[in-house]
Amino acid sequence: MPRHETDCRYFANGYCSKGNTCTFTHDVATRNENICHFNLVGKCSYGRACRFLHTRPRNDELPSCSTPQTSQNQQNLQNSGQRVRPKQLPELKFNAQAAEFVPRWKMPQRGPVTSYAGAAASADHGESSSSFQSSHEQAQLMMCPYHQKSGDCNRQDMDCPFAHGNYCDMCQQWSLHPYNAELRKKHENECVANHTTEMERAFLLQKTEQKTCGICMENIFEKNLRFGILNGCQHCFCLDCIRQWRSKDQENVELATKTVRSCPECRQHSDYVIPSLFWVESGQEKDLLIEMYKENTKRKICKYYSNERSRGACPFGNKCFYKHQLPDGSIDPGEAPSSRRRPRLVDFLFDDNSDSDEETFRRFQEEHEEEQEELLRFVAETLPEADEESELFRQITEVLRHYQISGHRRGFQ
């Protein structure tokens, strides 16, 4: 049962989804045929795919469109009896006769664009002076980016607002400013500096390609490895091999630290290893590499200070290359590194914690008088032939030094 007297607009257009349950009035007299209103005025964009009928009403009367029309227009349309035809839209095609697109910056200028000050100056100095720029203005012109790379500019020289440079033999570009001598000289100096850097890099690369590791005997450059350069000698090793060699004192206690810190070939002592992509032997290049290595390590925090348990226990002290930074951001100056003393023969012969050295020596002399005589006789015979760098010579020297300190020097030399 309809609740409203208003006609249902969906039923009037041909279909209402609610049917008899619709609350609006379904009057057959007000029902329009399912005719496309856009087709009547020739503006239906769906064409044959339109869901409405593309026909005229049976009573030959045009229905009201969405756009309101005055009663006078409707009366004139009925009296004229003219038939409304669909409007034919133009078909889209590529026009081969169209003019070529030209950007504005490529178009020829009709006249020089000048400011009010320029127009006033041209009136004072004449029309001929306005077409030329002063030498100062020409020196401030920027280089044309198109002409600088290829030497060709789409614009003509008189139309391009940039300066077209001269050819540079070093960089093979048109980068020399034609009006500014200072910029031209600056570019020449930059080209010379870049050329020098490239030559040095080429020489380093040539020396690097021929170097082999003295431990694994492999070509370091072909293996894409880094060089481990020792600061004390000029022998060549790859970084992995020389680091493994220098870490043997932690694996094998029989090797002394002085041995593993030395070069495997010449036995020259080196304090540290410098990683490098190129091979550098000596001279200013090696000094520069060492300086760059130290500057790089200064920016990194020492591993003994990054761990809370081992903070402040760096064995290198204030000689460490890395940064000793505390958690609050301050730098720990540290102390001088303490050397680790190896066990000596004197430490086993005498007790340093005894109260009296005289009593210790007297007891040792009474108990080991015969062994002492044999030791002194052996020292007297062996000392002149002993090598100063041998372990035996060092131990004998320690024993003699202890005797001299105790005031019991023997009559042998």
Phi, psi of 143 (to 5 degrees): -75, 140
Exposure string (b/e) for 308-343, b if CB count within 10 Å is 16 or more?
eeeeeebeeeeebebebeeeeeeebebeeeeeeeee
d(CA 363, CA 350): 11
How far, in Å, are 179, 273, 290 from residue 240 at the CA level?
Answer: 56, 11, 19
DSSP conformation class of 104: G
Does the predicted TM-score (pTM) go above 0.85?
no
pLDDT at 412: 38
Cα gap 335→193, rounded to integer Å: 44
**Per-residue pLDDT for the chain (413 aa), expressed as one digit of tens each?**
556 778 888 877 767 888 788 888 887 766 666 778 788 888 888 887 776 778 776 655 544 444 444 455 555 555 555 555 555 666 666 666 777 777 666 666 554 444 444 454 455 444 444 444 466 777 778 888 888 887 788 776 567 888 888 888 888 888 888 888 888 888 888 888 888 888 888 887 888 888 888 888 888 888 778 888 888 888 889 888 888 888 765 555 566 667 778 888 888 888 888 888 888 887 788 888 888 988 888 888 888 888 776 676 787 888 888 888 888 888 887 777 765 555 555 555 555 554 555 565 566 556 656 665 666 666 656 555 555 555 666 666 666 555 544 444 344 33
Q: Would you kindly state where each structural domain of the chain is located, as residue ranges?
A: 9-80, 140-208, 217-296, 300-340, 345-406
Around 145, how many Cα atoms within 13 Å sit in the side-chain half-sphere? 0
248 within 8 A of 255, measured Cβ to Cβ = yes
pLDDT of residue 411: 40
Q: For residues 45 and 88, what is the distance between their CA atoms, to the nearest angstrom?
A: 11
